[in-house]
Amino acid sequence: MNIIIIGSGIAGVTFAEKFRTLSPEAEITLLTKENYGYYSRPMLSRGFSQDDIEQLIIIKSFDKLRKQNIRVLENVTVTALDKAVQTVHIQGIKAIETLDYDRLIIATGSAAFIPPPFRPYCDSFYLFNSLHDLIELRQLRKRILHEKKRAMKWGIIGGGLIGCEVASDLAVSGDKVSLLHAEDRLMERQLVAEDSLKLLAVMQSHSIDVKFQQAIQTIEKAGDQTSVISNDGHFEFDAVIVSCGFKPRIDLAEQVGLETQRGIRVNQTLQTSDKHIFALGDVAELPDSKLYAYILPIRHQALWLAAYLSAQETASWQPPAFSAVAKVHGFKADYPYVF
């Protein structure tokens, strides 16, 4: 069997490695835009407080995967699929290439979600979703510290899980942080009200200035200064990060007419509306309309799918019990997180 996997996050890499062990004869090709290797996205949240993060975060180099007889094409973007003839088109450094598959695994993950009113200001703010983003922000922080000889002033827009994590990591690293949140409590989707209050107290103990019920009107950058105007006033920062959730990368699936909703719709065997194409990880939307966008269930999906496609599993995928945990310095919820 000739398997192509798009994406080198936990979904794509876990699947590739497990499928390799269960199906020694298969041809496995992993296509990825990345060139750093396979890294831990959860560790991004410690990206400022941990000095040697660029090394620590890499779980496995692509060369190590190649030694496991997995063909890895890095620095390439899959630009189109043709499900009638079962091919993918890739654009790399050199040219466009076409590759055939018997089974295609879409594990393209998710990008940061940018709320529509913010889109005209895209050049004025940063996102925090990948190792590339972290490296860019670390370089910026280093430069500002060097040139201005003072702690950096950050505006974080969004008080969800990742916004709180990055705000707390910057604050414990010595920077000044304001968190502007649209709602009236932090992490309102994951935490009960009591835990949101507890989280607020922890954030404030790190000197984070949390502002609720902020309707952002403009975000404008001029040189090293970014101004944010909200219903509540005018704020000035050295840099602004917008952290307002995630958006599954469904564009390839949409182009080729696979069923999509928020994610790529799959059945309980992770099969899309095309029988030769499967999806897993942040990009897959299960029949219960849920995206299981956390490490534990994604790993479980990937191991399960490798066994299923190697004819070693027949029962459908069932989500494991799991719970999310916010990696905010010094915070522990008293109640279970909501999923």
Ligand X SMILES: Cc1cc2nc3c(=O)[nH]c(=O)nc-3n(C[C@H](O)[C@H](O)[C@H](O)COP(=O)(O)OP(=O)(O)OC[C@H]3O[C@@H](n4cnc5c(N)ncnc54)[C@H](O)[C@@H]3O)c2cc1C
Interface with ligand X, residue 286, by CB under 6 A: no
From the list 17, 34, 74, 195, which residue makes contact with ligand X (rule: CB under 6 A)? 34
Helices (H), the chain: 10-22, 53-56, 62-67, 131-148, 161-172, 193-205, 251-255, 295-309
**Smallest distance from the beta carbon of 45 to ligand X, in angstroms?**
5
- Give one DSSP letter per residue of 105-171, joined into a string: EE---EEEP--GGGGGGGGG-B--SSHHHHHHHHHHHHHHHHHH-S--EEEEE--SHHHHHHHHHHH
- Cβ distance to ligand X smaller for residue 202 or 235: 202
Task: Determine contact, residues 267/308, Cβ cutoff 8 Å.
Answer: no
Which of 3, 5, 6, 203 is close enough to bind ligand X by CB under 6 A? Answer: 6
Which residues ranging from 301 to 330 are in contact with ligand X (CB under 6 A)?
Answer: 327
Q: How many residues bind ligand X (CB under 6 A)?
A: 33
Binding flag, residue 294, ligand X (CB under 6 A)? yes
Burial (CB count <10 Å: 0-12, 13-18, 19+), residue 109: buried
Is beta strand 71-73 parallel, antiparallel or unpaired with respect to 27-31? parallel
Stretch that binds ligand X, among 113-121, 193-201, 217-225, 288-296 (CB under 6 A): 288-296
Member of 20, 27, 33, 269 binding ligand X (CB under 6 A): 33
Q: Which of residues 185-244 bind ligand X (CB under 6 A)?
A: none
Binding segment toward ligand X, per CB under 6 A, in 7-15, 53-61, 171-179, 229-237:
7-15
CA-wise closest residue to 304 among 15, 4, 10: 15
Q: 127 or 152: whose CB is closer to ligand X?
A: 127
CB atoms within 10 A of CB 242: 24
Q: Which listed range, 16-24, 209-217, 228-236, 290-298, lies at the site for ligand X (CB under 6 A)?
A: 290-298
Q: What are phi and psi of 156, to 5 degrees?
A: -110, 125
- When asked if residue 299 is in the footprint of ligand X (CB under 6 A), the reply is no
**Contacting range for ligand X; rule: CB under 6 A; set: 193-201, 222-230, 294-302, 328-336:** 294-302
Q: How many angstroms separate the most distant Cα atoms in the chain? A: 63
Q: How far is the CB of 39 from ligand X (least distance, A)?
A: 9
Interface region with ligand X, contact rule CB under 6 A, candidates 10-18, 57-65, 186-194, 306-314: 10-18
Is 137 near ligand X (CB under 6 A)?
A: no
Residues 68-127 that bind ligand X (CB under 6 A): 77-78, 107-110
Exactly one of 53, 164, 186, 293 binds ligand X (CB under 6 A); that residue is 293
Q: State which residue, 38 or 235, has the beta carbon closest to ligand X.
A: 38
- The angle at the Cα of 191, spanning 188 to 196, to the nearest 5 degrees, equals 75
Residue with tokens 């649209």: 182
Give me the half-sphere count of Cα atoms (radius 13 Å) on the Cβ side of residue 282.
21
Nearest to ligand X of 131, 230 (CB atom):
131
* 138 close to 235: Cβ distance less than 8 angstroms: no
Strand partners, 224: none
Residue with Cβ nearer ligand X (78 or 179): 78
281 near ligand X (CB under 6 A): yes
CB 225 within 8 A of CB 125: no
Interface residue with ligand X among 2, 42, 145, 319 (CB under 6 A) is: 42
Chain residues binding ligand X by CB under 6 A are 6-12, 31-34, 41-42, 44-45, 77-78, 107-110, 128-129, 162, 249, 252, 281-282, 293-295, 298, 327
